């Protein structure tokens, strides 16, 4: 129930599209810039790598795990993706999984 609710209350990008974010831990440098920008969305684990957090504040550690981008934090999440030295933060539309911010965005 919570996950379904989160999907409907996730962030919206331009045009009102729901967005989600994920981190490629293979490229993460552990600088923690993302945590500085959006600690509600990102957290460093004891392995020194950043992960996204679920609505219950739990780290989502499975490869490719995504979390909705809360609308009030959209700019912080986008800045995290832009400033990340590892180019490992990916923000994509939920509807078609097209990356809109991050290293694979057009």
- With a CB cutoff of 8 Å and minimum separation 6, the contacts of 93 are 13, 17, 18, 19, 100
Domain annotation covers residue 50: yes
- Confidence label for 4 from pLDDT (cuts 50, 70 and 90): very low
Domain annotation covers residue 52: yes
Dump pLDDT digits (tens) for 59-102: 999 999 999 999 999 999 999 999 999 999 999 999 999 999 99
Domain annotation covers residue 10: yes
Domain annotation covers residue 81: yes
Do residues 52 and 22 lie in contact, with contact meaning Cβ atoms separated by under 8 Å?
yes
Report pLDDT for 14: 53
Entry pTM: 0.84
Domain annotation covers residue 106: no
Return the CATH number at 72.
3.30.70.20
Domain annotation covers residue 16: yes
Domain annotation covers residue 93: yes
Do residues 41 and 21 lie in contact, with contact meaning Cβ atoms separated by under 8 Å?
yes
The total number of structural domains that make up the chain: 1
Rounded (10°) CA dihedral 24, 78, 87, 41? -40
Q: For residue 94, give its domain range.
A: 2-101
Do residues 23 and 34 lie in contact, with contact meaning Cβ atoms separated by under 8 Å?
yes
């Amino acid at each position: 129930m919570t996950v379904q609710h989160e999907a409907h209350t996730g962030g919206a990008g331009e045009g009102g599209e729901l967005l989600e974010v994920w981190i490629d831990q293979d490229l993460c440098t552990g600088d923690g810039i993302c945590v500085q920008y959006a600690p509600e969305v990102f957290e460093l684990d004891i392995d020194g790598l950043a992960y996204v957090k679920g609505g219950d504040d739990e780290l989502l550690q499975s490869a490719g795990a995504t979390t909705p981008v809360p609308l009030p934090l959209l700019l912080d999440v986008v800045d995290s993706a832009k400033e990340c030295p590892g180019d490992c933060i990916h923000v994509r539309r939920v509807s078609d999984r097209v990356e809109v911010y991050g290293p694979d965005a057009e």
